[in-house]
Structure 1
Amino acid sequence: MPDFAYIARNETGQRVEGVLEGASQRDVLASLSAQGLFPLKVNASSKDVRKSGGLKVRPQAMSRFYTQLAGLLRSGVPLLRSLDVLKKQSSNPSLKEITKDLHSRISEGDSLADAMARHPRAFDELSRSIVRAGGEGGFLEEALERVAKFADQQAELKARVLGAMAYPIFLAVFGVSIVTILVIFFVPKFEGLFARLRERGELPAVTDMLLWLSDTLSSYGLIIAAALVGIYLFTKAKLSTDAGRLWLDRWQLKIPQAGKIYGNLAVSRFCRVLGTLLAGGVPIVKSLKISSDSTGNRVLSEAVNEAAENITAGESLAEPLAASGHFPTDVVEMIAVAEQSNTLETVLGNVADSLEKETWRRLDLFVRLLEPVMLVILASAVLVIVIALLLPILKTAMTM
C-alpha cells in the first residue's frame, strides 16, 4: 500500500507530522481520526511521488525556484539550509513537496543533480545536465542562474506565440460556430416557405444546396460528428507512429509561410539550448544529444544527431546541419566560423536572439494577413446564406 505524508493536530492542539500507510487518502484520514488526531493535510508521500515520475510544476515557478536558490547560495547560505528556506516559503504545493524530497535526498548523500533526476517532470534533462556540470565544476550558482534565464526565455517564447495566435483561433472557432448555428437552426425555418418553389423547379440552385446541407446536418449531424471523431482518432494514431511523426514533421517545414516560422522557432530553440548547455560546462557531444530533442522536429533532430556523430569523429558541426537543408545558410556559416574561433556558445546565443526577432516579424505579418482573410471568409459564408434565403423571396415578389 502507498505511504501518505500527513500534518495533524492532537487533542492538546499540538502540530503532528508523519507518514502513514493506507489504501487511499480516505483510509488514512479515518486512521488518523481513530488515533484521536485532527488531520490538516494528507498527501501522497515523496516516495510515491517518485514512483509516478514526479510532480509537474509550471515553468514560471521553476524559474523562480532556480533564481532564489542561486541567490541564497551566492549569499553564502549552505545548500541544505537554502532548500529548507525555499520549502518553507513556497506557496506551490507540488514545488514544496519536491523541495522537501530534494532536501531529504541530499541529506542522504545525493548530489543536487541526482536528487533532481528523481523528478523528471519538474527538472528536464537540460536543467539536470547544467546543474550537474555546475556542481562538479564549482560554479553551481552560475549554472542555476543560466537554467533560470533559459526557463524565462522559453516561457516568454511560448507566451508570445500563443498570444499571437489567440485571435485567429478565436475567429476560426467563432466563424465555424456561427455558420453551423445558421445552417442547422435558422435555415430549416424557411424550408416550408420554399417547398412549393422546389416542387415547381423554380428554387435557385444555391438555395436548394443550402437546404440540402441544412437537412443533411440536421438529420445526420451525430453520424457526421462521430465519423469526424473517428477520422481524428485514426489520424492521431497514425501520426503517433515513427513514420507518421516523421511525415508530419517534414510537412510542417514545407507549409508556405507558416513552415518558415515553425522552422525558425525550432532552430532558434536548438541554438538556445545548445548554447546554454555549452556555457554551463556540458560536453559538446552530450549537449548535442540533449538539444536534438529540443527542436520538437524529427527531421531537424536527425540532422543534429548526425552532427553529434561528426563531432565524435573529429569533424565539423556545421556540415551535417547544412546538408539537411533545413538550417538557414547564414546560421550554418556563423556556426562554422564560431567553431574555428572557439566562441560557439556566444554565437549560438546571438543566433537564437536573431532568429527569434526574425520569427516575431514573420509571425506578426502572418497574423496581420490571416485576420482579414478569415474575416472575409466568415463574411462571405454569412453573405451566401443570406443571399440563398433572400433570392427566392425576391424572385417570387418580382413575378407577382
Structure 2
Amino acid sequence: MASYAYEARNRSGERFTGKIKAASLREAAHQIRAKGLWVANLRELEPASLPPAEASSKSSFLTISSQPSRLEVVLFCRQLAVMLSAGLPVHEALKALCQPDGSGAYQQMLSRLLTDVIQGKSLHEALQGVPKVFSTRIVSMVKAGEAAGSLDVMFLRLADFLEKSFAAREKLKSVLLYPLILGVTTLLALLGITVFILPTFAAMLSDFRAELPLPTKLLLDFSALIQQDGMVVLLCMGLLVLASVAAWHQPVIRCVLDAWRLRIPLYGRLLCYAEWQMLLGTLSVLLANGICLHEALKLLPEATNNHYLRAVVSSACSAVERGTSLWDAWHRCEAFPEVLGEMVRAGEKSGELEGMLEKGAGLCGVIAENESARLQSLAEPAAIFIVGGLVFFFALSVLLPLLGMMEALS
C-alpha cells in the first residue's frame, strides 16, 4: 500500500490536511470522501512521474499557441463535473483528461492546468492562468465551489449553464445567417450605387431642374458626403469605436450601461433571468454547504458579468451584515423580479432559504429559455424587415424622380 498526502475541505469550508494509506489513488479518494470531506488535492508521497523540477520546467516553457474553442470549454466543464462527482481528486481528473500523445490548444491547456495543480495551486488559481479561456464568472464560481467544498456540484451547474448558452448562441447564429448575408450584399450594392451611379443620376436630374423628393435628396446628400469627406467619416467612426471601447472599460459607465441593458425589451428580460439564475443557484449551493449568508454574498458578485448586478449583490452583503434580511436588501432593486422576491421572502420566513433559492434558479432557467426561444423566433423577421426597408428606401429614391421626369415630358 502506498502513502498519500491529501488536502480536503468539509461542508463548512474548513481545510484539512493529512496522510492516508491506500492501494490506489481512487481508493484513497473514496476513503477521504467517506469521512465527509471533499478532496481538493491528493498526491502520492513519492510520485513516480512528473517530479517538481520537471513540472516547473514544463510550466515555464509551456505556451498556448491558440485558444481552445468555446465548445471545448463547455466540454471541459462537463467532463470535470462527471469525474469530480465520481470522487476523483482534481489533479487525477485533469490527468485523466490529458492525452499522452495529444496536441493542440485544448491539450496544451489541460497540461498547463495539471502542472499548476500538482505544484500546489488551487483549481481557480490555475484557471486564472488562462484568462482568455476562462472568464471571471467561471473562475469565481470555481472559487466559491472550493470554499464550499462542493466543487463537483458547482461544475455541474456551470456545465449546464454553458451548454444552454452555447446552444442558444449557435441557434441564433443559424437563424441570422440568411438575413446577415442578405444585409451585407444589400449594403455593398447600395454603397457601389451611391459612389458610382448616383453622381451621374444627380447631374441628369439637375439638368431637368425638377423638384426632388425627400428620399432622393437624402440619398444624394449621403453620396456627396461619401465622395467629398469619406476619409473623415471613416476616421470619425474609428474614433467613436475607440471611445466606446474605452468607456465600456470604465466601471462607472459600465455599471450604467449594464443597468440600461436590463431594460431593453425582450433581450433585457432574457439577460436578467439568465444572470439571476446563476446568482441564485450559486448562493443556494454555498448556503447548502454550511457557509453563512453574509460570507456567501461576499463570494457571489463575480458570478455575474453584469456590473450593475454586482453592485446590487455587494450592497446586499453590506445590508445583511447590518442585520437586514435578504428580501429587504433585494426587493427594492428594479432588476430583481418580483416573483423571485416572494420566493426569497418565503424561504427566509420558513427557514428553507437555500431550497427556495434553488427553486428560484430553476424558475429563472425556464423563463430565460422561453425568452431565448421568443427572441430567436423574432430575430429573422426583424432582420429581413430592416433589409427590406433599406431596399424600399433606395428604390423609392430612384423611382420617384424618374416618374416625375416622365410625367413632365408627357
1:180 aligned partner? 187
- Tell me the SS of whatever aligns to 1:259: helix
1:46 aligned partner? 59
Pair 1:67 & 2:82 matched: yes
The correspondence for 1:323, drawn from 332, 338, 343, is 332
List aligned pairs for 1:185-264, cutoff 5 A.
185-187=192-194, 188-202=196-210, 204-205=212-213, 206-264=215-273
CA distance in 1, matches of 2:367, 2:92: 44
**Alignment-mate amino acid for residue 313 of structure 2:** V
Cα deviations by residue, 1:266-307 (Å, 9 ceiling, x for unpaired): 222211221233334444323212222223223322222232
Aligned pairs, number: 342
1:126 aligned partner? 141
CA distance in 1, matches of 2:319, 2:185: 55
Task: Answer yes or no: is the 8 Å Cα contact 2:80–2:93 preserved in 1.
Answer: no
- Tell me the SS of whatever aligns to 1:124: helix
Give the structure-2-normalised TM-score. Answer: 0.71
CA distance in 2, matches of 1:230, 1:344: 49
Pair 1:356 & 2:365 matched: yes
Task: Answer yes or no: is the 8 Å Cα contact 1:130–1:280 preserved in 2.
Answer: no
Give the structure-1-normalised TM-score. Answer: 0.73
Pair 1:99 & 2:107 matched: no
Q: 1:369 to 1:65 in 2, by over 3 A?
A: closer
**Alignment-mate amino acid for residue 126 of structure 1:** M
Task: Answer yes or no: is the 8 Å Cα contact 1:164–1:363 preserved in 2.
Answer: no
Gaps of 5+ in 2: 1-49
The correspondence for 1:372, drawn from 366, 381, 405, is 381
**Alignment-mate amino acid for residue 271 of structure 1:** L
Q: 1:210 to 1:148 in 2, by over 3 A?
A: same
Cα deviations by residue, 1:9-49 (Å, 9 ceiling, x for unpaired): xxxxxxxx99999xxxxxxxxxxxxxxxxxxxxx9732577
Task: Answer yes or no: is the 8 Å Cα contact 2:140–2:299 preserved in 1.
Answer: yes
**Alignment-mate amino acid for residue 155 of structure 1:** L
Q: Answer with 385-394 or 325-334: which moved more.
A: 385-394
Q: 1:178 to 1:119 in 2, by over 3 A?
A: closer
Identical-residue share of aligned pairs (%): 19
Gaps of 5+ in 1: 1-16, 22-42, 135-142
CA distance in 2, matches of 1:220, 1:261: 41
Q: 1:234 to 1:102 in 2, by over 3 A?
A: same
Task: Answer yes or no: is the 8 Å Cα contact 2:84–2:93 preserved in 1.
Answer: yes
CA distance in 2, matches of 1:260, 1:268: 12
**Alignment-mate amino acid for residue 164 of structure 2:** L
